[in-house]
Chains A and B, each alone.
Chain A
Amino acid sequence: MRQRPVTTPSSQALAGDDECGTAWAPPVRRHPVCLMNGYRADDAHLPCRPINGCE
């Protein structure tokens, strides 16, 4: 069994840029920028309409 370290090696300080889960952060419900229409932003573009509620 591994033991919890009492001090942290400097290489472990700040875990860095690993992708991780989202449970530490509020679930951000922001509409994506949709540039499917000739690279023009188009919020009304049907396929980009969110179905689960943007805040």
Chain B
Amino acid sequence: MTTAASASTAEAITSNIGHPLPPNVRLLPGRDCWWVIRDTTIARLPREAVTSASAQSVILPEAYDALRQQGFFTVRPADVYAVTVLTATACNLGCAYCYQNTSLPQEGSFAPPRIDKAVLTSSRVGEVAAFIERQMARFDLKKSSLLLFGGEPLLNPSGALQMLQAMRPLGLADAEMITNAVLLTPKLATRLAEAGLRRAQITFDGGKDDHDSIRVTRNGRGTYDTILRNVIEGSAQTDLHWHFRVNISHRNMGDLERLIDDLGDAVPQGRSSLHLALIDDTGLGYDNTVDYSSDYVELFTQLVTRAVRHGMFVPISKPISSCPYCGVFGGDRGAVINADGKLYSCWETVGREDWIIGDVENGYLPEEHVRPRWVACDYDIKSHGTKEQAQRFFDQIDAVALDEMYACHNQVLTMR
């Protein structure tokens, strides 16, 4: 511990011994331990390391010192420049709640109006890569990560493949695609994996019946079987990892356990992860009565437990301030780039004229223009509860996820 940064960290910790934890550290009661969390760094402490004599829990000095010695509190500087690139803003599906819709679909329609269409062309790929290279040089970052996004990115597969190839000379350390997977045939999955894609993030909207009434093509057809088949075949023919997002509202509570079972059976153990998400009303008027109450904590923890026992990884929640795109003002750690080359601060403003903050040819606009447009995702959602309720909700679910994944198991877990 010789650097100035380390010294200041140690000083801050010393002053916190015997006092409540710093605001960026979470302390969660586990089944037989305490979980201590700072961003994505997790530690497990024995029960006796924490005292709850006062109103707030306090880590005892010996345990605090042990954490410090393990580097738990050391903040490492970012070394990866993270970019989200949309290859196409159009979508082959018509999910009514999508934040890229500009209004709810009309009665009987499965094709809600969306943000303006744009496609990532070959020439634009070069411009995007040149912008990324300039930004990485400016912030002295040697590694990059790419998230291919849309719309549906596979409406422009050549754009996705070209973008992956263009990033290879830029220290590409990780590449993911958020796709609905309807077009993710095994052949295309193989080509993408060969080009450097490591992971596909795919959303389900409940068990088959619910999913097929919500996640529909733009002429109203269900997509569950097609998506699941593509995951199974893509998993067999590539080394891709799969991150399943399950969007939850009061409309799809019917058969979520069956969905988890289907997902668990589709991918070998250790190659998939799960994120349960509440559907937000982003201003469209798409309601969701599911909230942060204890009933839903119980449901979510049951689903998380089931997923872990299928061999899925369940990442814990993170503060949105850690987001590489919006978490630091001005794009120092990453960028969100539309298919037309325009820059935005987050995914939810992409394609909206009023939220443009620059473009890949000319870089970011002056600060006075960017600052009022610098927002994080969820900047305008209808809340599911108070901030305190949200914190309790995520804390309880995360504690169960950690217990299930890491603790208390001296024998192989099996499904009951």
Is residue B376 contacting chain A, with contact meaning CB distance below 8 A?
Answer: yes
- Known A-B contacts A7-B354, A23-B201, A50-B406; the reply to A33 vs B372 at CB < 8 A is no
Is residue B219 contacting chain A, with contact meaning CB distance below 8 A?
Answer: no
Asked if A19 contacts B390 (CB within 8 A), the reply is yes
Cα(A15)–Cα(B198), bound, Å: 29
Cβ of A47 to closest chain B Cβ, rounded Å: 5
Asked if A15 contacts B43 (CB within 8 A), the reply is no
Contact of B66 among A39, A46, A53 (CB under 8 A): A39
Asked if B70 contacts A29 (CB within 8 A), the reply is no
Is residue B284 contacting chain A, with contact meaning CB distance below 8 A?
Answer: yes
Mark each residue of chain A from 27 to 55: 1 if its CB lies under 8 Å from any CB of chain B, else 0.
Answer: 11110111110011100001111111100
- Known A-B contacts A16-B321, A19-B394, A20-B318; the reply to A52 vs B378 at CB < 8 A is no
Among A39, A41, A52, the most chain B Cβ lie within 10 Å of the Cβ of A52
Asked if A32 contacts B325 (CB within 8 A), the reply is no
Mark each residue of chain B from 18 to 42: 1 if its CB lies under 8 Å from any CB of chain A, else 0.
Answer: 0000011000000011010000111
Chain A positions within 8 Å of B285 at CB level: 1-2
Asked if B176 contacts A35 (CB within 8 A), the reply is no
Cα(A51)–Cα(B352), bound, Å: 43
- Known A-B contacts A27-B313, A39-B63, A52-B312; the reply to A5 vs B318 at CB < 8 A is no
Chain B, Cβ-Cβ closest to A53: B270
Asked if A24 contacts B347 (CB within 8 A), the reply is yes
Among A2, A5, A8, the most chain B Cβ lie within 10 Å of the Cβ of A8
- Known A-B contacts A32-B406, A39-B63, A50-B405; the reply to A12 vs B379 at CB < 8 A is yes
Cα(A27)–Cα(B314), bound, Å: 8
Asked if B379 contacts A41 (CB within 8 A), the reply is no
Chain B positions within 8 Å of A46 at CB level: 410
Asked if B199 contacts A26 (CB within 8 A), the reply is yes
Asked if A13 contacts B407 (CB within 8 A), the reply is no
Contact of A52 among B245, B311, B329 (CB under 8 A): B311
Asked if B380 contacts A5 (CB within 8 A), the reply is yes
Asked if B391 contacts A21 (CB within 8 A), the reply is no
Chain B positions within 8 Å of A2 at CB level: 281, 283, 285, 380, 382
* Number of B interface residues in the complex (CB < 8 A): 85
Is residue B72 contacting chain A, with contact meaning CB distance below 8 A?
Answer: yes
Asked if A28 contacts B315 (CB within 8 A), the reply is yes
Chain B, Cβ-Cβ closest to A50: B406
Asked if B44 contacts A27 (CB within 8 A), the reply is no
Cβ of B276 to closest chain A Cβ, rounded Å: 8
Chain B, Cβ-Cβ closest to A41: B70
Is residue B6 contacting chain A, with contact meaning CB distance below 8 A?
Answer: no
Is residue B108 contacting chain A, with contact meaning CB distance below 8 A?
Answer: no
Asked if B379 contacts A51 (CB within 8 A), the reply is no
Asked if B372 contacts A8 (CB within 8 A), the reply is yes
Cβ of B401 to closest chain A Cβ, rounded Å: 10
Is residue B316 contacting chain A, with contact meaning CB distance below 8 A?
Answer: yes
Asked if B66 contacts A30 (CB within 8 A), the reply is no
Contact of A40 among B33, B66, B321, B377 (CB under 8 A): B66
Cβ of B150 to closest chain A Cβ, rounded Å: 14
Asked if A22 contacts B354 (CB within 8 A), the reply is no
Is residue B62 contacting chain A, with contact meaning CB distance below 8 A?
Answer: yes
Cα(A28)–Cα(B315), bound, Å: 7
Asked if A25 contacts B322 (CB within 8 A), the reply is yes
Cα(A15)–Cα(B349), bound, Å: 14
Cα(A2)–Cα(B410), bound, Å: 52
- Known A-B contacts A10-B372, A29-B313; the reply to A17 vs B23 at CB < 8 A is yes
Chain A positions within 8 Å of B311 at CB level: 51-53
5 tightest Cβ-Cβ pairs between the two chains A and B: A53-B270, A39-B66, A1-B285, A15-B376, A32-B42
| Interface residues of B, Cβ cutoff 8 Å to A | 23-24, 32-33, 35, 40-46, 49, 62-63, 65-67, 70, 72, 145, 174, 176, 178, 199, 201, 243, 245, 269-271, 273, 275-277, 281-285, 308, 311-326, 329, 347, 352, 354, 371-380, 382, 387, 390-391, 394, 402, 405-410, 412-413
Can you pick out 22 interface pairs between chain A and chain B where the beta carbons lie within 8 Å of each other? A1-B284, A2-B283, A2-B285, A4-B352, A6-B354, A8-B372, A12-B375, A15-B320, A15-B321, A15-B378, A20-B317, A29-B315, A32-B35, A33-B43, A34-B43, A35-B49, A35-B67, A36-B45, A50-B405, A52-B312, A52-B314, A53-B269
